[in-house]
A and B are shown apart, each in its own frame.
Chain A
Amino acid sequence: MAVRRALDAGERVTRSPARLDQPQAVDAGPAELFVIATDPVVQGVIRLAADTAAGVGRVTSISADRLPASVMTEPRPIVVLDLDGAVPSIAPVAAVLDLAPDVRVVVLSERDDGAFVLEAMRLGAFAVLRKPDGLHTLSDVLAQVAGGERVLPTDLEQSAVSELRRFARQVHAASTVATPVTDREREILELAAEGFTTHQIGRRLGISPRTVEAHVAKLYRKLGVKTRIQAITRAAALGLIDMSE
């Protein structure tokens, strides 16, 4: 029930104040801060920033694999989530917010492309900062997040906004496809995009090559194309399959 989940997420974020509104008064005491970071240097930087941030209270280091119950029960918990590596996945952000939807997540990452920033904010993150230069502002950002504001540095905000148009256009183009593509058809598209032949796809999915052909023919009709390459590029343009990896 992906839609239900998205719906809940929508209701959750609707309550957050818009930028033009006054930030919430910090009268419920300092916000508890949880740190998910494996790098001891980054951990130290976060603790240092938290010490000087207004409205931020106790700091606890936790593991992403096992969120302590207090993360879910604290009234306004902040989780600073450090994503490792040059091309980190967004998955940990989704995982934390799935378990604890009221948590205010601050994402630290070396990735700063629009798709990454926008997806983090869409999932409900309160802030995204680029490492290492964004760490200088962490103390201020934590104070703002403790006050209920969502924060993005100007350049990250602009790349997220640019991505928003690309995303909107892609979804709009996909909505013009006459019939939705089924999960099975998408599966076949993805395998075809990886270069598998009809026979190989059939073997992988445990169906006959003829069935694969039937699916492919239906896909051509739905996508309005005549060749396999056209089908793959069209599906990628519509965002039906991800060819970025």
Chain B
Amino acid sequence: MGKRPSETRATQPPRRRLGVVVVDPLGVVRAGLGMLIANADGTELLAEAGTADEALRAIARARRSRVVVLVGLGLEEPHDASWLIREIRERYPTHAVLAVGANADPTSISRALFVGADGFIDKRVEPEEFFESISRAGEREVVLAGPTSSSVGQIADGIHRRRELDAMLTPREREVLAIAAEGLTAREIAARLGVRERTVTTHLGRIYGKLGVGNRLAAVRLAARSGLVTVGTPE
């Protein structure tokens, strides 16, 4: 299973099965996905990992040129899903990375694509669609399984808003805003960045002006909508 009959190439010699790495903080999810993948015809389970760092070690051990990595959006700090996707994209440009989530909002899908994911699979899709998505990702296609027509526009809008925000703010201002979103005071932000408190308040004032907002909450809300910062859990 996993491939539609029209996609199997009977005349060609059997190819090596597609290697898959499953990354998810929840053991039950890992076990379930791992079992499905290990028992399917076209795929082979290379490793399971519960954290981003474990995942990078597992991928390094795999020694394959093309691996499909399924990254659960529920991964948490210090190295969350965005961090892992960005790392894999930089270190292994030929691997396919698919974000996996349940009920994910379009903003977190935008964010995953922005940092380099090749697609998104909703955990609620049927196993058949799940496998089809994995093998299509193996063929270098972009995959969006689950939330398609209804949210492709919203996902694009999230990325578009990120571009607008990026066009307005300097990298330092983005950094300040991202830290401000954690709820730190100007003094604490200054300490983290190693600058004077006065510098931080100047940055914040300039950020509010550029975004056309009156206070920090409004600025953080804007940043969250454009995927610059995450507020709350992505799932």
Q: Which A residues lie at the B interface, using CB under 8 A? A: 1-4, 6-7, 9-10, 13-14, 16-20, 118-125, 149-152, 157, 160-162, 164-165, 167-169, 171-172, 174-175, 178-181, 239
Contact = CB atoms under 8 A, between A and B. Distances in A.
Nearest to A153: B149
Given A119-B156, A165-B142, 4 more contacts: A10-B157, A10-B158, A18-B147, A168-B159
Contacts of B147: 18-20
A2 B212 CA distance: 10
B142 to A, nearest CB: 4
Given A20-B124, A164-B113, A171-B114, A157 B161 contact: no
16 contacts: A6-B161, A7-B161, A7-B222, A13-B153, A16-B150, A19-B148, A19-B149, A19-B151, A20-B146, A118-B152, A152-B149, A161-B119, A161-B144, A164-B155, A168-B113, A169-B116
A154 to B, nearest CB: 9
B89 to A, nearest CB: 9
A174 B157 CA distance: 16
B206 interface: no
B168 A3 contact: yes
Chain B interface residue number, banded: 35 or more
Contact of B149 (A10, A150, A165): A150
Contacts of B163: 171, 174-175, 239
Contacts of B149: 19, 121, 149-152, 157
Contact of A3 (B106, B146, B165): B165
B171 A178 contact: yes
A48 to B, nearest CB: 24
A6 B152 CA distance: 15
Interface in B26-69: none
Contacts of B148: 19, 152, 157, 161
A65 B113 CA distance: 37
A124 B160 CA distance: 13
Interface of B: 106, 110, 113-116, 118-119, 122, 124, 141-144, 146-171, 211-212, 222, 225
A18 B222 CA distance: 23
A132 to B, nearest CB: 21
B168 A180 contact: yes
B150 A150 contact: yes
Given A7-B222, A165-B119, A174 B166 contact: yes
Contact of B152 (A10, A17, A152): A152
Nearest to A170: B163
A60 B153 CA distance: 27
What is the interface of chain B mostly: helix, strand, loop, or mixed? helix
A10 B171 contact: no
Task: Enumerate the 10 nearest inter-chain pairs by beta-carbon distance, A residue then B residue, closest first.
Answer: A121-B153, A168-B113, A122-B156, A19-B150, A152-B149, A165-B142, A175-B166, A171-B163, A150-B150, A161-B144
Nearest to B173: A180
A97 to B, nearest CB: 11
A125 B153 contact: yes
Contacts of A149: 149-150
Which residue among A6, A13, A19, A125 has the maximum number of chain B CB atoms within 10 Å of its CB? A6
Nearest to B169: A180
B111 to A, nearest CB: 9
Contacts of B113: 164-165, 168
B154 A14 contact: yes
A157 B152 contact: yes
Nearest to B109: A164
A59 to B, nearest CB: 24
A20 B116 contact: no
Contact of A175 (B122, B162, B212): B162
A167 B148 CA distance: 16
Nearest to B168: A180
B164 A6 contact: yes
Contacts of B124: 20
A161 B211 contact: no
A102 to B, nearest CB: 15
Contacts of A169: 116
A122 B115 CA distance: 19
Contact of B164 (A3, A18, A124, A164): A3
A180 B142 contact: no
B154 A13 contact: yes
